[in-house]
């Protein structure tokens, strides 16, 4: 930090140096500072998180800011402070006061991006504020960062700052064209998700207002409703029609959604563990919860490539696409079933749609969703694997049977549910549980598991890793759960003798004494066995809700059996409605 005189020139007398104190970029000057005037210039250098690429920069950059510290003790340094600081100096040298120069420079810069909204001084804005001013900052940052290495970015913003300093406009056509390229191509949804994920991994939950309304996406010189609704998806996000040519293409396409599915369930597992009080982590599950927001977004990011495979599966004659089609339908059913269990009715998207159309789909009745999923699952059976293989390519018939049984449970068709669970239990016997389910890729307990390869460069969601992750595999559907689902269906169908025999089969496998008679309320026995043998892994919240004891056991309100629709989704999609009481 450099001391400045009243003309914003460095005095050369006092220079104060410090470093950041955390990964949020916070800094503090510890020593008492006696300054000649109230004006200072801050210069920061270092690596930074690139919200466009979602990665830490490979080289450092330098940013500057001017501030009047007589009226504040906190200053932010960001891309806007850097772009305006030379312009402010020029305006002060022309006779304007610092305050007036600041206001004029900010207004001029926002005009460059066709932003008419009045914002605070940029040194009062942080990306993590959760305000529209923060969204303006993020929008400008993302547009300028688009498609640039750190070296190019440093050079670019230096040229912008110098050009802008002269007269408050950008005159260089090359610089203007690069702004237009960023406006037309930056994928703002991913930018917002990247930034939220960065801070979430560092246990800081932030809100982000919609940045798209501050990006002139069609470069017509005006921000309007078209820009707020328009989204440019980069080529590496969308699967092009001409991609599906050979079997390698299909295999590549089918592996693409697995990381999103894994991340989705990591977030869901954390939310359920919090709601069910299975972990000691304080998390308010409301409509502004960023874990909830991430889960919703990840679900549709996973569904998108699955829809593409399903749509293209009939286009190829050189090889049999049915295994890829069938696994895609099962994985899509896996996600939609879980979404319905947690949110109730959700937008049901089963084909590739233009983003401006897909983003305005309203909630679909869950019975309609279940009917479609049952059709997909039944059609898929002949082309699925006989046994589960945790290789993150094709799924098994057991998973399809488990999903159909779960759907029938949700629909209260208990005898039908029992039929499908019995198909799995007939060929498997409960075996004593061990940690092998989390480490042995050939274990017979897991039916569908999240895979964490030792060879990949992936960091799971931090709260998930802290409280829930146990090994290289994390089971979502497992045989013990199927036995308990089967027991659940037998109890609801009043098939008491079969239920008692099944519960004792599970208890003996778990080294527990058999029951002499069926409890008067077997739902509590089923819930206790689930908590004992499966616990935090997956499915306890849905089980308690189906058994009708979630409110009592968890001490929650009835409406809390569904999660709220994320606020960000409601803001983007006017056709969505919120769940009751949220």
What angle (nearest 5°) sits at the alpha carbon of residue 20, between those of residues 15 and 26? Answer: 105
CATH of residue 533's domain is 1.25.40.390
Are 302 and 201 in a shared domain? Answer: no
What is the structure's pLDDT at 395?
A: 95
Domain presence at residue 517: yes
Are 53 and 126 in a shared domain? Answer: yes
Among the candidates 199, 229, 259, a domain finishes at: 229
> Whats the size of the chain, residue-wise?
582
Which 3 state secondary structure label does DSSP give 19? coil
Domain count, the chain: 2
Domain presence at residue 236: no
Are 245 and 200 in a shared domain? Answer: no
By DSSP bridging, strand 10-15 and strand 2-4 are antiparallel
Domain presence at residue 408: yes
Range of the domain at 484: 241-452+459-572
Are 437 and 387 in a shared domain? Answer: yes
What is the structure's pLDDT at 482?
A: 95
Q: Which residues contact 305 (CB under 8 A, 6 or more apart)?
A: 239, 253, 256, 257
What is the structure's pLDDT at 387?
A: 87
Which 3 state secondary structure label does DSSP give 577? coil
CA distance 225 to 572: 11
The number of angstroms, rounded, from the C-alpha of 201 to the middle of its chain's C-alpha atoms is 11
CA distance 506 to 527: 13
Domain presence at residue 20: no
For every residue of 509-537, DSSP letters joined together read HTT-PPPSS--SSHHHHHHHHHHHHTTTS
Beta strands in 109-203 (DSSP E): none
Tokens representing 33 are 């500072």
Are 159 and 259 in a shared domain? Answer: no
CA distance 19 to 6: 27
Per-residue pLDDT of the chain (582 residues; tens, 9 = 90+): 999 999 999 988 878 889 988 877 889 987 677 787 899 999 999 888 899 888 888 788 999 999 998 888 899 999 999 999 999 999 999 999 999 999 999 999 999 999 998 898 899 999 889 899 999 999 999 999 988 877 789 999 999 999 999 999 999 988 998 999 889 888 888 898 888 888 877 777 888 888 988 999 888 888 887 777 665 555 444 444 456 778 888 888 898 899 899 999 999 999 999 999 999 999 999 998 989 988 998 899 899 889 989 988 766 677 888 999 999 999 999 999 999 999 999 999 998 876 667 778 999 999 999 999 999 999 999 999 998 888 778 999 999 999 999 999 999 999 999 999 999 987 766 655 556 889 888 888 999 999 998 777 677 888 999 999 999 999 999 999 999 999 999 999 999 999 999 999 999 988 899 999 999 999 999 999 999 999 999 999 999 999 999 999 999 999 999 999 998 888 878 899 999 999
Tell me, what DSSP letter sits at residue 323?
Answer: H
Are 209 and 287 in a shared domain? Answer: no
Are 127 and 250 in a shared domain? Answer: no
Q: How far is CA 350 from CA 336, 471, 534, in A?
A: 10, 33, 32
What is the structure's pLDDT at 356?
A: 62
What is the structure's pLDDT at 475?
A: 94
Among the candidates 194, 229, 264, a domain finishes at: 229
What is the structure's pLDDT at 34?
A: 77
Count CA within 13 A, CB hemisphere, residue 483.
27
Specify whether the CB–CB gap between 447 and 480 falls below 8 A: no
* Neighbour count for residue 540 (Cβ, 10 Å): 23
Are 481 and 568 in a shared domain? Answer: yes
Domain presence at residue 468: yes
Are 151 and 279 in a shared domain? Answer: no
Are 365 and 287 in a shared domain? Answer: yes
* Neighbour count for residue 261 (Cβ, 10 Å): 23
Among the candidates 229, 255, 276, a domain finishes at: 229
CA distance 180 to 174: 10
What is the structure's pLDDT at 232?
A: 59
Are 448 and 352 in a shared domain? Answer: yes
Domain presence at residue 13: no
Are 355 and 490 in a shared domain? Answer: yes
Q: Where are the alpha helices (DSSP H) in 70-149?
A: 79-93, 98-112, 132-145
Domain presence at residue 66: no
Domain presence at residue 427: yes
């Amino acid at each position: 930090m450099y001391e400045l005189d009243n003309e914003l020139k460095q005095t050369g007398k006092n220079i104060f140096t410090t470093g950041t104190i955390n990964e949020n970029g916070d800094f503090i000057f510890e020593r008492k500072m006696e300054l000649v005037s109230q004006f200072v210039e801050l210069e920061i250098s270092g690596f930074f998180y690139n919200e466009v690429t979602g990665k830490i920069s490979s080289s450092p950059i330098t940013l500057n800011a001017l501030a009047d510290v007589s009226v504040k003790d906190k200053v932010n340094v960001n891309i806007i402070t850097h772009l305006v600081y030379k312009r402010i100096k020029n305006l002060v040298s022309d006779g304007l006061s610092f305050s007036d120069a600041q206001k004029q420079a900010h207004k001029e810069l926002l005009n460059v991006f066709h932003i008419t909204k009045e914002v605070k001084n940029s040194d009062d804005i942080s990306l993590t504020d959760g305000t529209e001013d923060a969204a303006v900052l993020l929008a400008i940052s993302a547009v300028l960062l688009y498609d640039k290495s750190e070296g190019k970015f440093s050079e670019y913003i230096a040229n912008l700052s110098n050009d802008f300093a002269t007269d408050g406009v950008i005159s260089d056509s090359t610089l203007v064209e690069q702004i237009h390229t960023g406006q037309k191509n930056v994928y703002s949804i991913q930018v917002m998700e990247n930034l939220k994920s960065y801070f979430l991994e560092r246990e800081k939950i932030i809100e982000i207002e919609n940045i798209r309304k501050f990006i002139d996406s069609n470069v017509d010189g005006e921000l309007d409703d078209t820009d707020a609704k328009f989204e440019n998806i980069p080529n590496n996000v969308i699967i092009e029609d001409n991609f599906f040519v050979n079997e390698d293409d299909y295999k590549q396409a089918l592996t693409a959604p697995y990381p999103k599915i894994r991340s989705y369930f990591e977030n869901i597992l954390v939310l359920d563990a919090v709601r069910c009080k299975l972990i000691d982590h304080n998390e308010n599950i409301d409509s502004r919860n960023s874990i909830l927001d991430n889960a919703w977004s990840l679900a549709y990011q996973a569904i998108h490539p699955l829809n593409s495979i399903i749509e293209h599966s009939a286009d190829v004659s050189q090889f049999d696409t049915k295994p890829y089609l069938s696994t895609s339908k099962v994985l899509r059913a896996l996600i939609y079933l879980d979404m319905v269990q947690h949110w109730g009715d959700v937008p049901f998207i089963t084909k590739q749609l233009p983003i401006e159309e897909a983003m305005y789909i309203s909630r679909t009745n869950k019975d309609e969703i279940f009917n479609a999923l049952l059709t997909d699952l039944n059609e898929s059976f002949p082309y699925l694997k006989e046994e589960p293989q945790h290789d993150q390519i094709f799924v098994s018939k057991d998973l399809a049977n488990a999903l159909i049984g779960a759907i029938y449970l949700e629909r209260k068709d208990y005898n039908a549910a029992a039929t499908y669970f019995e198909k799995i239990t007939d060929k498997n016997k409960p075996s004593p549980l061990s940690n092998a389910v989390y480490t042995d890729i050939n274990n017979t307990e897991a039916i569908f598991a999240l895979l964490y390869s030792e060879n990949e460069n992936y960091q799971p969601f931090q709260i998930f890793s802290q409280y829930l992750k146990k090994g290289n595999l994390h089971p979502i559907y497992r045989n013990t759960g199927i036995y308990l689902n089967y027991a659940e269906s037998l109890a609801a169908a009043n098939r008491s003798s079969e239920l008692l025999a099944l519960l004792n089969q599970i208890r003996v496998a778990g080294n527990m004494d058999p029951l002499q008679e069926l409890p008067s309320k077997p739902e509590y026995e089923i819930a206790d066995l689930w908590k004992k043998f499966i616990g935090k892994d997956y499915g306890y919240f849905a089980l308690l809700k189906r058994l009708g004891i979630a409110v009592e056991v968890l001490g929650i309100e009835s409406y809390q059996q569904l999660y709220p629709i994320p606020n960000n989704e409601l803001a983007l999609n006017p056709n969505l409605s919120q769940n009751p009481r949220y």
